[in-house]
Amino acid sequence: MVRFGIAGFGLHAVKRLMPGFANATNCPVTALSRRDPERARESAREFGIEHAFTSTAELCASPHVDVVFIATPDALHLSDVLEAVRHGKPVLVEKPMAMNSGEARRMVEAGRAANVLLGVAHVMRFEASVRWFRERIASGAIGKPVLARAAFVAPLAGSARTWINDPSLATGGPLADVGVHCLDTLRYVLGDEVQTVMAQAQYDSQWVVEASGTALFHFAGGTLATMSVSARAPYQTLLEVIGEDGMLSAVNALNVEHPVTLELRRGFDVVEKREVLNDRAYTAQVEAFAASVEEGKPFEIPGEEGLQNQLILDAIFRSAKTGKTETV
**What secondary structure letter does DSSP report for 124?**
G
**What secondary structure letter does DSSP report for 205?**
T
Q: How high is the pLDDT of residue 149?
A: 98
Q: How high is the pLDDT of residue 159?
A: 82
Regarding the domain with residue range 124-278, which homologous superfamily does it belong to in the CATH classification? Dihydrodipicolinate Reductase; domain 2 (3.30.360.10)
Other CB atoms within 10 A of residue 61 CB? 14
d(CA 271, CA 104): 42
Helix (H, G, I), strand (E, B) or coil at 149: strand
Q: What is the 3 state secondary structure string of 3-33?
A: CEEEECCCHHHHHHHHHHHHCCCCCCEEEEE
The CATH number of domain 4-121+282-300, selected from 3.30.390.50, 2.30.30.40, 3.90.1150.10, 3.40.50.720: 3.40.50.720
Q: How do the domains of the chain map onto residue ranges? A: 4-121+282-300, 124-278
Closest to 13 in 3D by CA, of 69, 53, 58: 69
Question: What are the two backbone dihedrals, phi and then psi, of residue 191, each rounded to the nearest 5 degrees?
Answer: 60, 40
Q: How high does pLDDT run on average in the chain?
A: 97
* Over residues 251-266, mean pLDDT: 98
- pLDDT tens for 96-120 read 999 999 999 999 999 999 999 999 9
Q: Do you find a cis peptide bond into 96, omega within 30 degrees of 0? A: yes
- pLDDT tens for 285-325 read 999 999 999 999 999 999 999 999 999 999 999 999 999 99
From residue 18, give the alpha-carbon distance in Å to each of 57, 72, 186, 271. 21, 15, 27, 38
* Over residues 83-98, mean pLDDT: 98
User: DSSP assignment of 254-311, as one string?
Assistant: S-SSS-EEEEEEETTEEEEEEEE--TTHHHHHHHHHHHHHHHT---SSBHHHHHHHHH
Strands 260-266 and 269-276: antiparallel
Strand order from edge to edge, sheet including 67-70: 51-53, 29-33, 4-7, 67-70, 91-94, 118-121
- pLDDT tens for 116-174 read 999 999 999 999 999 999 999 999 999 999 999 999 999 998 888 889 999 999 999 99
d(CA 101, CA 312): 9
User: DSSP assignment of 81-121, as one string?
Assistant: HHHHHHTT--EEEESS--SSHHHHHHHHHHHHHHT--EEEE
Strands 224-230 and 51-53: unpaired
* Over residues 20-24, mean pLDDT: 97
pLDDT over 90 (residue 270): yes
d(CA 312, CA 306): 10
d(CA 168, CA 174): 15
Q: How high is the pLDDT of residue 317?
A: 98
CB neighbour burial string for 75-114, b if at least 16 within 10 angstroms, e if fewer: bbbbebbbbbbebebbbbbbbbbbbbbebbbebbebbeeb
pLDDT over 90 (residue 251): yes
